[in-house]
């Protein structure tokens, strides 16, 4: 009895494996401890293994691939429709085993260790940026209670925090002054860490040929390019640029029925971090074109004349995502289209 397909439900310590034969009969559905997983798959002849693309999924996919198995990572949202009534590890493993055999199923490309190492820089930087924003908002709120306002903009808040850490004494009660001083130190420390993360990302961007290739696209800098390279890889898992843009959540929601096409706002269903980086990059480009119209292409200038700036930035992000896919799959730098 040869096992042809296995569904592996990952966990911290107790994993669940569900295997079926070529005839579709259930061969086993059993739990495994973490230390038993590799030994178990060493005894199994090479077969198709399905895993949800969750935390540690890429690690186990690499390890099982070394044993000769064909491993496919499935987005968890696409496994859910195959879960039968109830919720348990055994049911989840069975659903993964069923989903991985579907001919129209979409899979996640297995990331290398280098890709995940680069992504660790992006994740920690993103966390530090969000924490800095929280601290700045807290600082503004506390000072507002005493009638002190900080002008809009991150630079103004950082300037105020720097003055306080260097000895400036706000005219507030002593307890509040001590609290503000500690907050300012935290803000400046996080700001310095963010600077280190960004410097390291730029160093890695210069060393990576794929990242350098992506930076030839207007509006794509080293941080956005390295995030795309680490997350997407070669881009061949997408059949077209539109499919890649849809994966990022940059295409309109489609609620068509009865032959009537109804399109709404963008779906925002994909990778939030990459979508945010692309929109921010295009926002900078739109601002540049408004100040220097001669630097923008006719399509963008015409779009800005007809549509609001925010709509234009999202449209540009959608278009740039398609260009990114073309650059990745063709492995050629971006070439400005002829007028």
- State pLDDT tens for residues 303-315: 888 888 888 889 9
pLDDT-derived band of residue 279, with 50, 70 and 90 as boundaries?
very high
Q: How many residues can be counted in the chain? A: 339
As separate numbers, helices (DSSP H) first and strands (DSSP E) second, the chain gives 13, 7
More confident residue, 337 or 159: 159
pLDDT recorded at residue 60? 96
Whether the CB-CB separation of 327 and 213 falls below 8 Å is answered with: yes
Share of the chain above pLDDT 90, in %: 70
More confident residue, 258 or 272: 272
pLDDT recorded at residue 200? 94
pLDDT recorded at residue 28? 93
On the question of pLDDT at 34 being above 80, the answer is yes
CATH number of 3-99: 3.30.420.10
DSSP string, 291-333: H-GGGS-HHHHHHHHHS-HHHHHHHHHHHHHHHHHHHHHHT--
Mean pLDDT rounded to a whole number for the chain: 91
């Amino acid at each position: 009895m040869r096992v042809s397909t296995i569904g592996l439900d990952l966990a911290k310590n107790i994993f669940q494996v569900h295997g079926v034969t070529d005839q579709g009969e259930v061969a086993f559905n059993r739990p495994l401890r973490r230390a038993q997983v590799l030994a178990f798959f060493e005894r199994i002849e090479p077969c198709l293994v399905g895993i949800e693309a969750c935390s540690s999924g890429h690690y186990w996919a690499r390890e099982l691939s070394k044993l000769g198995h064909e491993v496919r990572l499935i987005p968890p949202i696409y496994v859910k429709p195959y879960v039968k009534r109830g919720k348990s590890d055994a049911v989840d493993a069975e659903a993964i085993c069923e989903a991985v055999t579907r001919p129209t199923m979409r899979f996640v490309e297995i990331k290398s260790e280098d890709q995940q190492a680069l992504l660790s820089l992006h994740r920690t930087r993103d966390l530090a940026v969000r924490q800095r924003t929280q601290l700045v908002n807290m600082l503004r709120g506390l000072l507002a209670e005493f009638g002190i306002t900080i002008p809009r903009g991150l630079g103004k808040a950082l300037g105020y925090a720097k003055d306080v850490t260097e000895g400036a004494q706000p005219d507030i009660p002593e307890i509040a002054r001590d609290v503000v001083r500690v907050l300012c130190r935290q803000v400046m420390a996080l700001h310095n860490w963010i600077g280190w993360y960004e410097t390291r990302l730029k160093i890695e961007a210069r060393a990576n040929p794929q990242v350098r290739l992506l930076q030839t696209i207007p509006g794509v800098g080293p941080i956005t390019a390295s995030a795309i390279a680490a997350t997407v890889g070669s881009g061949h898992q997408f059949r077209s640029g539109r499919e890649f843009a849809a994966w990022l959540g940059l295409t309109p929601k489609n609620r068509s029925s009865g032959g009537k096409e109804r399109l709404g706002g963008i779906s925002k269903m994909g990778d939030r971090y990459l979508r945010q980086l692309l929109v921010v990059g295009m926002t900078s480009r739109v601002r540049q074109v408004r100040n220097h119209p001669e630097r923008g292409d006719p399509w963008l200038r015409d779009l800005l004349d007809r549509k609001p700036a925010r709509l234009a930035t999202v449209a540009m992000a959608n278009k740039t995502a398609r260009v990114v896919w073309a650059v990745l799959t063709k492995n050629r730098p971006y070439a400005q289209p002829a007028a």
